[in-house]
Structure 1
Amino acid sequence: MKGVMIQGTASDVGKSLIVTALCRMFANEGIKVAPFKSQNMSNNSYVTVDGKEIGRAQGIQAEAAKVEASVWMNPILLKPRSHLHSEVVFLGKAIESLSGREYRESFYEKGLEVIKESLAHLEKEYDLLVVEGAGSPVEINLKDREIVNMKVAEMADVPVILVSDIDRGGVFASIVGTLELMEPEERKRVAGLIINKFRGDLSLFSDGVHWLEEKTGIPVLGVLPYVENHMIDGEDSLSISQQFRGRKKADLDIAVIQLPFISNYSDLEPFLYEKDVSLRWVKDSSEMGRPDAVIIPGTKSTMNDLNFIRVKHLDDSIQKHMEEGGFLVGICGGYQMLGDEMIDEAGTDTGIANIRVQGLEIIPARTFFQQEKETVRTAAHFHEDTGLSCLDRIEGYEIHLGRTILAREGSSFLQTVDGKSDGYYGKNGKVIGTYLHHLFQNDVWRNQWLNEIRKSKGLPEKDMVHIKAFKDQRFDDLARQMKEHINWELLTNIINRWSSRV
């Protein structure tokens, strides 16, 4: 198989971003390229065109590669729903929830089979694969049954590029230590090194490059600069602090409840493009202050995260915010929490059937958790009861187990193109609940909502920010920036030599 695998000395060293850049770099050269990650652990997911669920990183990488995402690009997705258990999404469909031990003991052979099948599918359809590893390839306690790093490189038979993050410190020890802990056959597969997240003058690391090449005998393919505000959707909760840190104070203050099991936080990334918006994450009532709007995002464990809100007294802060006339949006699990009651009929949210939990009682609704998850791309218009004048179609996707039923006095927010009602719209738009992820990715709607907040503060309205127009450009910008700092000729030679060897 022709391709390359990006592995890291640790989690969050930049593997996903580098794979994204490589996908666009190869695509720009006319190569039919696809991303692949055998197993992902993330609550930030992506819905394919056929309604299957994969890791969001692989969906974004497919967009960078200019191809349609499929389940073969990420056949196994683990979505944490507690500190011990994760939902297993297998070829795009949730099948069961397992503890880490149960998963390792019962799923290994099945995992190997689906990885082999996925690689075979992708090899037939694409000219080259860019494969992403997970965590570190030398977690000794996991190596005997790992299906994310060197085992996958062996199955795909591709060379490995090892990436280390210099920003966190200890880059030399990380690289040398990782190589030392590899088996001899594994180390032979490592064909290049990349130093990522370098700040300052890159020429100052030339001695470091020389030392690494002398010590390891492996070429350093590049020293990549720290990319600020790259605007590429993050993969997991580790990325939240990276993407949203350092947000300035601005005219509009939006507080987002940082739930322990937050999912699909890419819903909030469009606000990074709005110059007069300050987005901040709130984990305790003492941090709430007096925001203009509060957003409760999606979650993989709605009832557990509602309990977190109560323990941290954020429920009181949200109620006070509403009493003072603030704006409130609940998305997916956040929408469910806003209702009167949640009933876990099938035990799919808590693991215990028929548990009932009182909601925040802001929206007149009840949610019933069912056995089958709904995953679908959705197109909709505003429900006629809202009186909203925006005629643009709203697009996004749904990933949820719950079915929410509004009381008679409740007004739906959206009407899907197939005739279904979604969500809640109340207090002239100051309270909104919806199952639609990526609601704020819709430029016209986001601008309309923000202008309502601006008007409520006596601020002038602003023109729409066309985020969709930036999306493809950011992939090209990232590819160009990384190509300037990587030995592209050497990398492509490594890939070509490896795939053509006898």
Structure 2
Amino acid sequence: MKGIMIQGTASDVGKSLVVTALCRILSNEGVKIAPFKSQNMSNNSYVTVDGKEIGRAQGIQAEAARTEATVWMNPILLKPRSHQDSEVVYLGKAIETFSGREYREQFYEKGLEVIQESFHQLSKEFEMVVIEGAGSPVEINLKDRELVNMKVAALADVPVILVADIDRGGVFASIVGTLELLDPEERKHVAGLIINKFRGDITLFEDGIQWLEEKTGIPVLGVLPYIDHHMIDGEDSLSIAGQFANQKQGNLDVAVIHLPFISNYSDLEPFLYEEDVSIRWVRKGDEFGAPDAVIIPGTKSTIQDLKFLREQGLDVKIKNHFESGGFTVGICGGYQILGEEIVDEAGTDTGIVNRMVQGIGLIPGKTIFFHEKETTRARASYHENTGFPKTHGLEGYEIHLGNTFIKKNGCSFLRLEDGKEEGYFQNHGQIIGSYLHHLFHNDEWRNRWLNLIRIQKGLPPQETRKIQEFKGERFDTLASEMKRHLKWELLKEIIEKWSPKE
């Protein structure tokens, strides 16, 4: 199976976006293409059609490639649970929590085996693979047992394109420094360079391109523009800063609690395309202000993040906001935090069996953490309790260890496809809790909720913005823009004629 690997000089240089674009470009040319990332570290995840969990970036890249995402596209997902420990999701299922040292010492051989098996499985169905690296390939303290950069390029026997971010500065040093720190055998794999996030007049960089090619002996395959609001879901905490940095000032002020172990923050991205909505990330009590609505997103460590809220005084701020008539939504871990009680029955959230803590108490529910995680795609309709019509279905996915048991009847939010009741809905939508990730990606629901807030503020309701209709368009727009700035025929030639330099 032919392929190419995209590595970067650092984190957040745009590797995921470049891989997404290449998947779409190749798919447009009729190539049966698969994305791949051997090991992903992110709490922003994606549920496959068979209910398995992989990194969100690879799920989105599969959509760009017009194929169904599978665990073979991301066999290892590390989900940080603390500053030291991560849950290991292996072929879509959580198996164990390791410290960084334990993972390196105990998992390396198993990691190599599943990477090789993944390539074998993908080769049965696909003609080509576009592989994404992670961070930098020259983290000297980690190189001897790495599972995601040059070791993967060697296992797959593919050329590597090195991506550098010119927007952050130091692009020449980052490229030359990375190449100098590679071992000679590793450097043989680097067949091209891409400069990403360029702003301004490209003619002012032509001397820079010439210098790089003369200095390194490696062709610059493209200088890609800085693409703002590309609508491709981010992967990690660095992406949060980038995507929400230049927020507009809208009439609706929505405060999102920035939990230390936030997960699946892609739940919030649709609000970026609502013209009258301003998203604010709140980390401290003095940042809270007087928002129209508060959203508590998912978390990989509910009890630790609840402790963080209390330390920052945000629990009191959230309660006061609700009592003064403000709208409040908790998704997954945020739903659990809004409840009355959390019991870590299995010790899966804290490592302490039967540890019990009090929640914020706005939802009359008790959450119990079990051993097994639930991961599933879900379809639902509004529960009859809401008073909303059932003409529009909702879609999303669930990823959670705990289950929440509501103590009152007649206050569910959704009715799932199998008939089960889900979530919490009261005070005409003033407070909502749900395990349904991507709730706000449902255009009709997002608009309905925002109109409740608009009407309360004395603003006219708005028509539904069909964000979902832009999904295919955004992939094609990204692919077209990227291809226009790439030496595309040369890049394809590198893939087709690849053989390591002697």
8 A Cα contact 2:87 2:95, kept in partner: yes
Contact 1:454-1:461 within 8 A present in 2 as well? yes
| 1:41 and 1:77 in contact (8 A); partners too | yes
1:293 aligns with 2:299: no
Aligned partner of 1:112 in structure 2 is: 112
1:421 CA displacement: 1.1
- Match of 1:10? 10
- Residue 311 (structure 2) aligns with: 311
State how far apart, in whole Å, the 2-side matches of 1:34 and 1:423 are.
Answer: 36
What percentage of aligned pairs have identical amino acids?
70
Which residue is equivalent to 1:28? Answer: 28
Q: Which amino acid in the other structure matches residue 292 of structure 1?
A: D
Q: How far does residue 486 in structure 1 lie from its aligned partner after superposition? A: 0.6
Q: Is the 8 A contact 2:396 2:439 kept in 1?
A: yes
Alignment of 1:125-204 (within 5 A): 125-204=125-204
- 1:458 equivalenced with 2:444 (yes/no): no
Output the amino acid matched with 1:439. Answer: L
The amino acid of 2:142's aligned partner reads L
Show the counterpart of 2:482.
482
Distance 1:123 1:190 in 2: 23
| Alpha-carbon distance between aligned partners in 1 of 2:386 and 2:465, rounded to the nearest angstrom | 24
1:355 corresponds in structure 2 to 355
1:419 maps to amino acid: G
Alpha-carbon displacement from aligned partner over 1:305-325 (angstroms, at most 9, x marks no partner): 001111110011101111110
How far apart, CA to CA, are the structure 2 residues paired with 1:462 and 1:374? Answer: 36
Cα distance between partner residues in 2 of 1:211 and 1:92: 45
Describe how 1:73-472 pairs up with structure 2 within 5 A.
73-409=73-409, 411-472=411-472
Shift of residue 410, structure 1, vs aligned partner: 5.8
Q: Distance in 1 between matches of 2:488 and 2:341?
A: 56
Matched-pair contact (CA < 8 Å) for 1:112–1:147? yes
1: CA distance, partners of 2:410 / 2:286? 32
Mapped to 2, the partners of 1:300 and 1:410 lie a distance apart of 29
Cα deviation per residue 1:444-494 (whole Å; 9 max; x = unaligned)? 111111111111011111100001100110000001111111100100000
Instruction: Tell me the residue number matched to 1:39.
Output: 39
> Partner letter of residue 339 of structure 2?
G
CA distance 1:435–1:156, shift in 2 (3 Å): same
Shift of 1:408: 2.4
Over the residues paired in the alignment, what is the CA RMSD in angstroms?
Answer: 1.1
Runs of 4+ in 1 over 4 A off after TM superposition: 499-502
SS of residue matched to 1:167: coil
Q: Is the 8 A contact 1:410 1:426 kept in 2?
A: no
Letter in 2 for 1:205: F
Deviation for aligned residue 1:246: 1.2
SS of residue matched to 1:468: helix
**What are the ranges of 5 or more consecutive residues in structure 2 without an aligned counterpart?**
none
**How much has 1:404 moved relative to structure 2?**
0.5
AA in 2 matched with 1:111: G
Report the AA paired with residue 228 of structure 2.
Answer: E
Q: Kindly indicate whether the alpha-carbon contact (under 8 Å) linking 2:172 and 2:212 is maintained by their aligned counterparts in 1.
A: yes
Q: Distance in 2 between matches of 1:311 and 1:429?
A: 28
CA shift at 1:499, angstroms?
Answer: 6.5
Letter in structure 1 aligned against 2:12: D
User: Is the CA contact 2:159–2:495 (under 8 Å) kept in the aligned structure 1?
Assistant: yes
How does the TM-score come out when normalised to structure 2? 0.99
Moved more, 71-80 or 136-145: 136-145
Give the conservation status (yes or no) of the 8 Å contact 2:263–2:298: yes
Structure 2: which amino acid aligns with 1:433? G
Deviation at 1:4, TM superposition (A): 0.2
Structure 1 residue runs without a partner (length 5+): none
**Aligned equivalents of 2:167, 2:463: Cα separation in 1:** 37
Contact 2:188–2:500 (CA under 8 A) maintained in structure 1: no
Match for 2:175: what amino acid? I
Q: Which amino acid aligns with 2:241?
A: S
Counterpart code for 1:412: S
- 1:50-96 CA distance string (max 9 Å, x none): 00000000000000000000000000000000000000000000001
Q: 2:167 is paired with a residue of what secondary structure?
A: helix
What SS does the aligned partner of 1:498 have?
coil
Q: How many residues align?
A: 502
Alpha-carbon displacement from aligned partner over 1:377-416 (angstroms, at most 9, x marks no partner): 0001111122222521110000000011000256111110
Question: What is the letter of the counterpart of residue 181 of structure 2?
Answer: L
Q: TM-score, normalised by structure 1?
A: 0.99
Q: d(CA) in 2 for partners of 1:166 and 1:476?
A: 24
Structure 1 residues 384-393 or 279-288, which shifts more? Answer: 384-393
In 2, distance between residues paired with 1:292 and 1:331?
Answer: 17
- Once residues 201 and 261 of structure 1 are traced to their aligned partners in structure 2, the CA distance between those partners, rounded to angstroms, is 40
Output one character per residue of 1:277-315: Cα deviation in whole Å (capped at 9) or x when no partner. Answer: 001100011111111100000000000000111111001
TM-superposed CA distance for 1:199, in Å, is 1.0
User: Per the alignment, do residues 410 and 284 of structure 1 end up closer, same or farther by CA in structure 2, a change over 3 Å counting?
Assistant: farther
Question: Residue 390 of structure 1 contacts residue 444 of structure 1 at CA under 8 Å; is this kept in 2?
Answer: no
Q: Residue type matched to 1:487 in 2?
A: K
